[in-house]
Structure 1
Amino acid sequence: MKQTLLLFCLLFSIGTAKSQDYIITKFGIKPDSTKLNTAAIQRVIDKAAVKGGTIVIPNGTFLSGALFFKPNTKLRLMEGAVLKGSDDIKDYPLLPSRMEGQNLDYYAALINAYKVDHFSITGPGSINGNGLRFWKAFWANREEKAKLKLPSTNLEVHRPRLVFIWGCNDVTIKDVKMHNSGFWTTHLYQCQNVLMENCDIRSPFRPVKAPSTDGVDIDVCSKVTIRNCYISVNDDAVCIKGGKGVDAQNLPGNGIVEDILVENCTFGEAHSTLTLGSECIHARNITIRNCKVANTCPILRLKMRPDTYQLFENITVDNITGSCGSVILINPWKQFFDLKGSTKKPYGTIKNIKISNINVQAGSFGVMEGNPNDTVSDFVFKNVTVTTKSPALQNKYKDVKVENVTVNGAALIMN
């Protein structure tokens, strides 16, 4: 009996023991915002991976290029800690990756985790992408192309993301500041059970715009919760992705995004608060609730691609207050349109959408006008109060129901 009890206690202590902390300054790494510490920090990560451990960034600023976290490793940034990204793209290797709904070679992020279950990033410190040089290069390239009357894409100027987590389950990102990314801020791809909580995600609109710095991109993932976060970025705050193109639904790297919850968050300036579409083939069971908005963008935006079959279903927007650009925006999205020679005519299907308990000041109520073959069904506005100078809802769909919706104190008008 005693031996059994001793064995149980031993197993319990092993199962509940804290992982070892690997404080990077104990390995000769000094806080110096001008000295590149990529290789030295990576050696600490590799050492921690052997037995399992948490890489700890203490108070101070530490400059680094791409870091690759291994199974059994985590990252913690202490109070006053800043992990600062290099602004030279050569410090981010070109690797098989995922960008804009495509599997392709692209540059590593500052923080990378591939198939690292139970990975976590915790604060209260900061990850700073130091993106100014990348932003300036982006706008210079776009200006030059415009002079030549040529189009430009988001991938022409090579820029790193801040955080890329791929194929990981049971992920936690908590109490951390994520600022000034060169490209997307947080990219989750093929992950399940992710919690982002109490995070502060920002990139500027001025004096230099930080282009395509999406707050959180959720790409072929399930069971993601974003809670108690502040997000203000120069693109979509929360964006549901999953693939694009006329045959996107048949490609193995693409897929559904489902069971997503965004709650108790505050949204500053952005291009939209919640977006489905620019690269999304199927999204379902998406909820945003109990949030505050202080911006000039749509609360819900559905980008309808005429070159992609899209299905958006079971979307709930509930209890949103503050000021915004519009309550709803459904419109064609033709950026980088490409049927790749196909004669198919893709269309979008939108069904079972409920927008309720909204009380906002807005630039306009909204627009619901997708591509000619898109369909909308079971779309409900309920208990919505809006103050706006553009009170009409531009809507071309029949199956849109309105219950207790007032605009400037009168009933909503649908054009």
Structure 2
Amino acid sequence: MKNFTLIYIGILSLLLYSCAIKEESNAEPEFEWLEKVGAKSFPEGTREYSVNQFGAVANKETLSTEAIQKAIDTCAEEGGGIVTFRKGEYLSGALFIKSGVNLRIDEGVTLYGSQDIAQYPEIPTRVAGIEMVWPAALINVIEQKNAAVTGKGDIHAQGKVFWDTYWTTRKDYEAKGLRWIVDYDVKRPRTLLVSKSSDITIEGLTMKQAGFWTVHILYSQHITARGLVIQNNLGGHGPSTDGIDIDSSSYILVENCDIDCNDDNFCLKSGRDADGLRVNIPTEYVLIRNSISRAGGGLITFGSETSGGIRHVLAHDLQAKGTSVGLRFKSAMTRGGTVEDIYLRNIIMDTVGVAIEIGLNWNPAYSYSTLPDGFHEDSIPEHWKTMLRRVEPEVLGIPTFRNIEIYNMQVSKSKQAMNISGAESSPIDNVLIKNSTIISETAGSIDHASNIRLENTSINAEDNHSVEITNSKNVNK
């Protein structure tokens, strides 16, 4: 009888959801900024430069970095165009795309990343919220305009060797009380970095087994990421293999992507703690649509790096299939920043851990930096000092989450409907969940929050309990 009841509830929920979709059919509200997202230009050059003519070898064992880079440089010097590959497998270290160049990796071509960290020269960049020196990505677009990386081919980063090093080091670091710094000490190359650039298009590619984050959009404007397939859970589950990270960037369009990774799938960031507050660049004016997340830490995640603020975001027509968290907002009490004006619409989830998670004290062992006994600040690396720098005054480290709207969300199976947890000094404020249905094992909880509204929304928990509400005001369930 219980199973029949759940099936009936599910069918009824789908019918209600369909009606809600019709009522809220305008998935894209009339925001003026929506017309401005994405790359505004694309490389116009049509002349093709084959990497093979510059000495690249279609042999997975032969390093072709210099030949591929020479093709890119020549293409840029001669006014731009398309850099191409004959069908086959190519091995490369870090490549640097130039303005006016479209690096096209066609179907039948696989670009493999070298497993030798020396093939990724160290550059000044930002990693996981702090500025530091870190290995270049496999493909880099740095301080360029009007460039592209496209095609129906594959980029296989061969990241497992870097995963293994990380896990070995983490075990040692955790025993010493250094969990907070291990991610920064084990330097792993990203797959594709766009930094301090504009009018860049990344389209059509399948990216596999990232050593670290897959696509990192940093300090950039007017970027399009379209039709990307990211498959990082090949040969294991790599740590911090995020899908697409949008970091202190603006006017970004992400659409028609399919991500299977072992951390956050679609993620928005803006800096960590004192260093992030120093930089103070928000992520804003972001449109994410028509995309799928599979395994991973969050269908769409805001944080945990929030120092510069995250605002003016619309995400719609998204699916989560087996993702550990659906809609995820996370920060820490030293991070600061305001996350606001977030609009999430037409979301479907199946078999997720938590449907909605909003918290200000995420993963304390990672989020808070304390130097253990036996170490001295005058003899530690510079990036350790950056991580240990305190936010002063402390009140600047308190993050704020507010003005979040969730429309037309259908969750067919979750362990928990919601976990909303603010702080006495910063309650989660003004969250609207409308025209939605969540079927879950438990309803979850709301703590230190205000103005949480559920309109035409039902939470059907298997344990028959309702959402537990504590230390909150103006909450209707």
Q: Assess same fold via TM > 0.5.
A: yes
Question: What is the alpha-carbon distance in structure 1 between the residues aligned to residue 230 and residue 43 of structure 2?
Answer: 32
Q: Aligned pair in 2 of structure 1 residues 134, 375: CA closer, same or farther (>3 Å)?
A: same
Letter in 1 for 2:303: G
Q: Which residue of 1 aligns with 2:467?
A: 413
SS in structure 2 opposite 1:161?
Answer: coil
Q: Aligned pair in 2 of structure 1 residues 48, 16: CA closer, same or farther (>3 Å)?
A: closer
Q: Which runs of 5+ in 2 are unaligned?
A: 1-41, 370-387, 470-477
Q: Which residue of 2 aligns with 1:10?
A: none
- Displacement of 1:18 in angstroms is 3.7
Letter in 2 for 1:265: S
Q: Which region of structure 1 is more displaced relative to structure 2, 95-104 or 149-158?
A: 149-158
- Displacement of 1:147 in angstroms is 4.7
Question: What is the alpha-carbon distance in structure 1 between the residues aligned to residue 135 and residue 403 of structure 2?
Answer: 38
- Displacement of 1:85 in angstroms is 0.2
Q: How does 1:170-181 map to 2 (within 5 A)?
A: 170-181=199-210
Matched, 1:351 2:439: no
Deviation track 1:155-175 (CA, whole Å, cap 9, x = no partner) reads 222210000111111111111
Q: Which residue of 2 aligns with 1:322?
A: 349
Q: Which of 253, 269, 273 lines up with 2:295 in the alignment?
A: 269
SS in structure 2 opposite 1:118?
Answer: strand
Q: Which residue of 2 aligns with 1:377?
A: 429
Deviation track 1:237-277 (CA, whole Å, cap 9, x = no partner) reads 1111111114633x24x411111111110110001111112
Identity fraction in percent: 30
Q: Is the 8 A contact 1:127 1:179 kept in 2?
A: yes
Q: Aligned pair in 2 of structure 1 residues 126, 411: CA closer, same or farther (>3 Å)?
A: same
Q: Which residue of 2 aligns with 1:340?
A: 389
Q: Which residue of 1 aligns with 2:380?
A: none
Q: Which residue of 2 aligns with 1:366?
A: 418
Matched, 1:90 2:118: yes
Matched, 1:21 2:48: yes
Question: What is the alpha-carbon distance in structure 1 between the residues aligned to residue 367 and residue 453 of structure 2?
Answer: 33
- Displacement of 1:401 in angstroms is 0.8
Ranked by relative contact order (alpha carbons within 8 Å, sequence separation 6 or more), the top structure is: 2
Q: Which runs of 5+ in 1 are unaligned?
A: 1-14
Letter in 2 for 1:32: N
Q: Which residue of 1 aligns with 2:248?
A: 220
SS in structure 2 opposite 1:398?
Answer: strand
- Displacement of 1:343 in angstroms is 5.0
Q: Aligned pair in 2 of structure 1 residues 28, 21: CA closer, same or farther (>3 Å)?
A: same
Q: Which residue of 2 aligns with 1:211?
A: 239
Q: Which region of structure 1 is more displaced relative to structure 2, 271-280 or 16-25?
A: 16-25
SS in structure 2 opposite 1:188?
Answer: strand
Matched, 1:394 2:446: yes
SS in structure 2 opposite 1:352?
Answer: strand
Letter in 2 for 1:155: Y
Question: What is the alpha-carbon distance in structure 2 between the residues aligned to residue 394 and residue 351 of structure 1?
Answer: 14
SS in structure 2 opposite 1:130?
Answer: coil
RMSD between superposed Cα atoms in Å = 2.1
Larger helix proportion of the pair: 2
Q: Which residue of 2 aligns with 1:116?
A: 144
Q: Is the 8 A contact 1:247 1:308 kept in 2?
A: no
Q: Which residue of 1 aligns with 2:193?
A: 164
Question: What is the alpha-carbon distance in structure 2 between the residues aligned to residue 16 and residue 144 of structure 1?
Answer: 47
SS in structure 2 opposite 1:353?
Answer: strand
Q: Aligned pair in 2 of structure 1 residues 49, 201: CA closer, same or farther (>3 Å)?
A: same
Q: Which region of structure 1 is more displaced relative to structure 2, 360-369 or 402-411?
A: 402-411
Letter in 2 for 1:121: V
Q: How does 1:139-154 map to 2 (within 5 A)?
A: 139-147=167-175, 150-151=178-179, 152-154=181-183
Q: Is the 8 A contact 1:304 1:310 kept in 2?
A: no
Letter in 2 for 1:22: Y
- Displacement of 1:368 in angstroms is 0.7
Question: What is the alpha-carbon distance in structure 1 between the residues aligned to residue 368 and residue 347 of structure 2?
Answer: 33
Matched, 1:39 2:73: no
- Displacement of 1:149 in angstroms is 5.5
- Displacement of 1:108 in angstroms is 0.4
- Displacement of 1:16 in angstroms is 10
Question: What is the alpha-carbon distance in structure 2 between the residues aligned to residue 117 and residue 59 of structure 1?
Answer: 28
Deviation track 1:41-99 (CA, whole Å, cap 9, x = no partner) reads 11111111111122112311100000111222221011111110001100001111121
Q: Which residue of 2 aligns with 1:80?
A: 108
SS in structure 2 opposite 1:35?
Answer: coil
Q: How many residues align?
A: 398
Per the normalisation by structure 2, the TM-score is: 0.79
- Displacement of 1:408 in angstroms is 2.0
